[in-house]
Amino acid sequence: MKKALALGMAVVMAASLTACGGSGSTTTTTAASSETTAAAADTTAAAAEDTTAAAEEAPAESAGGTLKIGVIGPLTGPAAAYGQGVRNAVELAVNEVNAAGGIGDGIMIEMNAQDDEHDAQKSVNAYNTLKDWGVQMIIGSVTSAPCIAVAAETEVDNMFQITPSGSAVECVAPDNVFRVCFADPDQGAAAAQYIGEHQLATDVAIIYDSSTEYSTGIREAFVEEAANQGLNIVADEAFTADNATDFSVQLTKAKDAGATLVFCPFYYQEASIVLSQADSMGYDPIFFGVDGMDGILTVENFDTSLAEGVMLLTPFSATEESSKAFTDAYVAAYGETPNQFAADAYDAVYAIKAAVEKSGVTPDMSVSDICEAMKTAMTEITIDGLTGAGMTWNAAGEPNKAPKAAMIVDGVYVMQ
């Protein structure tokens, strides 16, 4: 009996480790950034429609050669929604670019997407697989922890890497890595600023996921900036990936402390539960989320009336007029509404296109030479992407674009 128990407990510990890995994965994943304009998308989508299929099918014989771009992200597993969004959007953008005659003097893009299941080790394996394939640039990894692991490898190889959505600070630590989304702390500070400037509330509660770098990073920056904005943090409550199903205690504490705004720097999966539990206990503050809140309206069977009045910082809204061309093309190709990861990835392809054209990189150059040229070119380009107009990058790899807030009104995002 004792033996069996000891064995059982050992297994529980092992199993809870894997369970943490499993459920944690959704949350460690990290996301994107600012505001939506899609002048670029409009023209390119139109171009894609005008061009014949024949042009698309023969990239290899093109005059400019073929640039091999590898995509790494979670195509399966709990974070699959993010990785699949990125893979699809890259494919969409690549097809558009190729159909419109390629990059610059007809450089065609060939892509290869590898699954990392949101696992750092598998992400590095995926990178090695792509190297065997002859990859010249990386889009990825989609999620933060794998991205950090792959960035360490690409730094050694001096391979150009751009992550659509790896938002942890360390993701772009090597100087060969750039990102499309905002870094985590930037979002926390921006949220506090937004709340302060628009005088949404003075008594604020925070509920955050203490088991992810994403959520804790945003919270720290928020708390720091809140002091400058005169916000009074009356409750500061945490949960972890392992108990992310019951928020009644945290909500009760926020309610009892008299908070009129609850800052929620975590993912929509948890947010949907928070909203319904707040509703069932009759608590109705303003819920203010960041990019991870994006997707709340797409939760299957979610009563969107619960999300009425929810505010979030988001770079991309599929329902916005300016992203219509992209959204329509995406829906037509993949049968689902694109999320912001898809929008970030789409912008990443066009950032690569702009930088390649700027630098005059050709596919016959060595990986390291391409990377050196791209590093300089990235700081010189400006693109109007889905996730922000006039996006620029600094040498540290961080994008510069304005964060914007949306409010959910009648089940759609209304940009504020």
Contacts to another protein by CB under 8 A? 1-2, 4-5, 7-9, 11-12, 15-16, 19, 22-23, 26, 76-81, 210, 237-240, 242-243, 245-246, 248-250, 252-253, 256, 268-270, 272-273, 276, 280-282, 298-303
Sheet holding 388-393, edge to edge: 383-385, 388-393, 399-400
Between 121 and 210, whose beta carbon lies closer to another protein? 210
Token couple for 289: 């989320």
Contact predicate 59/108, CB 8 Å: yes
Distance CA 336, CA 356 (A): 31
CB of 208 to another protein, least distance (A): 10
CB of 279 to another protein, least distance (A): 10
Between 228 and 243, whose beta carbon lies closer to another protein? 243
Contact predicate 318/411, CB 8 Å: no
Between 1 and 54, whose beta carbon lies closer to another protein? 1
Give the Å distances, CA to CA, from 381 to 149, 152, 357, 363, 374.
27, 25, 10, 20, 10
Between 281 and 409, whose beta carbon lies closer to another protein? 281
CB of 52 to another protein, least distance (A): 34
Between 114 and 272, whose beta carbon lies closer to another protein? 272
The candidate with the shortest Cα–Cα distance to 45, out of 328, 353, 317, 354, is 328
CB of 261 to another protein, least distance (A): 19
Number of other residues whose CB lies within 10 A of the CB of residue 36? 27
CB of 292 to another protein, least distance (A): 13
Q: Is 11 exposed, middle or buried (0-12, 13-18, 19+ CB in 10 A)?
A: exposed
Number of other residues whose CB lies within 10 A of the CB of residue 175? 13
Between 43 and 210, whose beta carbon lies closer to another protein? 210
Q: What is the DSSP string of 173-219?
A: -STTEEESSPPHHHHHHHHHHHHHHTT--SEEEEEEETT-HHHHHHH
CB of 300 to another protein, least distance (A): 4
CB of 339 to another protein, least distance (A): 10
Between 22 and 65, whose beta carbon lies closer to another protein? 22
